Amino acid sequence: MLRYILLRLFGLLLVLLVVSFITFGMLYNVPGGPFDQYEQPLSAAALANVKAKYNLDKPFYVVWASYVAHAARGDFGTSYSAENKSILEIFQQQWGTSVQLGLMALAWSVPLGVTLGVVAALRPNSATDYLVRFVAILGTTVPNFAIAVFMTFLLSVVWKLLPTGGWLPIKDPRTLVMPVFIFGILPFGVLVRYARNGILEVFTQDYMRTARAKGVPFVRVLFKHGLRNVLIPLITVLAPIIPNALTGSAILEKIFRINGIGRYFIDSIGQRDYPMVMALVLIVTVLWGISYLAGDVLYTVADPRVRLRR
């Protein structure tokens, strides 16, 4: 297994090189630049000096190679839009909020989604099953910004129960309710569907019918044989959900005025902040790679028949 993990990590390095090359190439060659946003356009001499300061007066591949060399040492450069702050300082200030939002959303959506999926599977075609499936479909099909607008109008404008935005976990915990709930709706809906379908499929297998016919307690059949065989698809689904949650939601952070890294990512794209966009893309790529690697390793824990090979 160690050899498999090392090979996967080496492959992740190659993926990072390819992703960084493509991302930087698209940013570098897109019309406009990071210093074309001023109300008073810079003169040709001033623009040349600024480009020379940030090493943008050289060919694309030279700038990309220089960025990769510095990033490998943990130096992601300085933000163009916040000149006095390095990229690492911005991450320290804002990523924690996005991580809090994601972890809180996962804390309720993962256990509740799996539990209600199992409950719906144990009572197929019942009122409970239809209700759970309806909520899951809404969570996976309705955009979260539409849910955010509706809930803000209803709970904040009409009923005045919750504030319209902000992120004050200690001073005003009510500010957490809507963003945490809305951010967890999509993972909740996905997990409900996979848990329900997995349990329904497992309970049709011969060994499950045999165990129940031999008088094995239903709870033992469910947890030891049923849920364990559903872990593989659930792990597969959770692999992309976790990195998405830990990197925040640009739309929700914009709507609820949360100073997270997702909101800053959208602002950085509009401002052509190359170092910030590159750092965010590389970090998201690393999180996805590690998440899928962890999922592959967990397969062997969930099912001893699975073996990791080259």
Q: What residue numbers bound the domain in which 287 lies?
A: 1-310
The percent of residues above 90 in pLDDT, for the chain, comes to 53
pLDDT band at 149 (very low <50, low <70, confident <90, very high): very high
CATH assignment at residue 48: 1.10.3720.10
Instruction: Please write the tens of the pLDDT for every residue from 65-119.
Output: 988 999 988 889 888 877 678 899 989 888 999 999 999 999 999 999 999 999 9
228-259 pLDDT, tens digit per residue, is 888 989 999 999 999 999 998 989 999 999 99
Structure tokens at 95: 């990523």
Q: How many domains does the chain have?
A: 1
Is the pLDDT at 19 greater than 80? The verdict is yes
Confidence of residue 205 (pLDDT cuts 50, 70, 90): confident
290 pLDDT band, cuts 50/70/90, is very high
Residue 40 confidence (pLDDT): 60
Q: What is the pLDDT of residues 264-287, one digit of tens each?
A: 888 888 788 888 899 999 999 999
